[in-house]
Amino acid sequence: MKGRTTCPNCKHEFVVDVTDDKDKYEAVCPKCDKKFSIQPKCSDSKSNDECSWEEHGEPRKTVLSKIKPRTQKPIIAAILLVCVFSLGITTAVFSEAFVISSTDLASGIGLKGTVEILVTNQSNNSIEDINIVLDNYSGKTDENGLFSAKNVELGIHTLQLSGEGYKTQSREIVVTPFFNTESTVKMEEGEGILDTVEFDSIGCTLILAIFSVFALLGTITCLKRHHIDVAYAGSLIGIFSFGFFFIGSILSIIAFVLIMKSKEEFENGKKGKIF
């Protein structure tokens, strides 16, 4: 076994290797050649020179993985997410123009939408046989107060509802691809025509703005290379900020891929265990 001892003459500290069956060992100081005895099994290191012994072990080591060099991928992802944020905010400000341009683009490649309307009275009971006109589509609600139309052109459409004993009303709805356009309409009893309810872009503006802010948070984390979970969330949620002609969505997807490929840089490559 190995142990550390101190020369009583020059106080030089050195390591000696003693066999386990030795109760006493004659050591020679490598510095001053002083000979002295040590007791490897002695527990009192201060009693006399013979007990100047301390078991010696290997120092603890920290094993680090190789630190990979930094790349420009997080920076590029940050630049893309800044563009996503800018496009998203611009789209939010001009949300109605965005809806029109985006749906026109989607219609140009042959996409259609589905509309589902639920008609109720003021007591929230469904109403049957309400006449509904949606551009070139017309029909009546069924026994459950439902009206549906498939393969509807995308964009902002005017929905007109009328029925015996109820006031005629019109409202604008937005037909989008991939998701059913669902709406609940309450009819008012009486005669006459109500004012048209126009498409409200405020809700769309708020949603797009919130999604865009997430892209900005992703930008900050990419620049600092910290909190990769926030960077992931920013790039994924940024997809739904859209941007004109869905440019923002495409840029967010590219940013997400770059973040995935550089995820070790966010952790700085520092991993290890202490033994």
Is 181 strand, coil or helix? Answer: strand
Sign of CA dihedral 154, 160, 161, 163: negative
C-alpha to C-alpha distance for 156 and 136, rounded to whole angstroms: 14
Helix (H) or strand (E) holding 81: helix 73-93
- Maximal CA-CA distance, the chain: 120
Return the pLDDT at 269.
43
Asked whether the predicted pLDDT for residue 97 surpasses 90, the reply is: no
Task: For residues 187-200, give the mean pLDDT.
Answer: 88
Instruction: Note the pLDDT tens digit of each residue in 1-25.
Output: 677 788 888 888 888 777 766 677 7
- The per-residue pLDDT for range 129-176, each reduced to its tens digit, is 999 998 778 899 999 999 999 888 888 889 999 999 999 999 988 888
Tell which wins on pLDDT, 27 or 19: 27
- Position 67 confidence tier, pLDDT thresholds 50, 70, 90: low
The predicted structure's pLDDT at residue 119: 95
61-66 average pLDDT score: 49
With contact defined as beta carbons under 8 Å apart, do 40 and 3 qualify?
yes
Tell me what pLDDT residue 273 has.
Answer: 38
Place of tokens 């997807």: 253
Q: For the chain, report the end-to-end CA distance as a whole number of angstroms.
A: 20
Q: Dihedral through CA 201, CA 207, CA 208, CA 209, nearest 10?
A: 110
Query: What interhelical angle do 95-108 and 202-224 show, nearest 10?
Result: 90
pLDDT in tens, 213-240: 999 999 999 999 988 999 999 999 999 8
3-state secondary structure of 168: strand
Which band of pLDDT confidence, cut at 50, 70 and 90, is reported for residue 105? Answer: confident
Q: Helices 228-237 and 202-224 sit at what angle, rounded to 10 degrees?
A: 150
81 is written with which tokens? 């997410």
Which is more confidently placed, 210 or 107? 210
Distances 2 to 53, 58, 123, 191 between C-alpha atoms, Å: 10, 10, 91, 105
* CA pair distance 18, 37, nearest whole angstrom: 12
Give CA–CA dist 52/46, Å, rounded: 7
Q: Tokens 């969505």 identify what position?
A: 249
Task: Find out whether 252 and 236 touch, Cβ atoms under 8 Å.
Answer: yes
How much of the chain exceeds pLDDT 90, in percent? 39
Pairing of strands 113-120, 35-38: unpaired
Taking the CA atoms of 211, 239, 178 and 136 in sequence, report the sign of the dihedral they define: positive
Quote the pLDDT of residue 165.
93
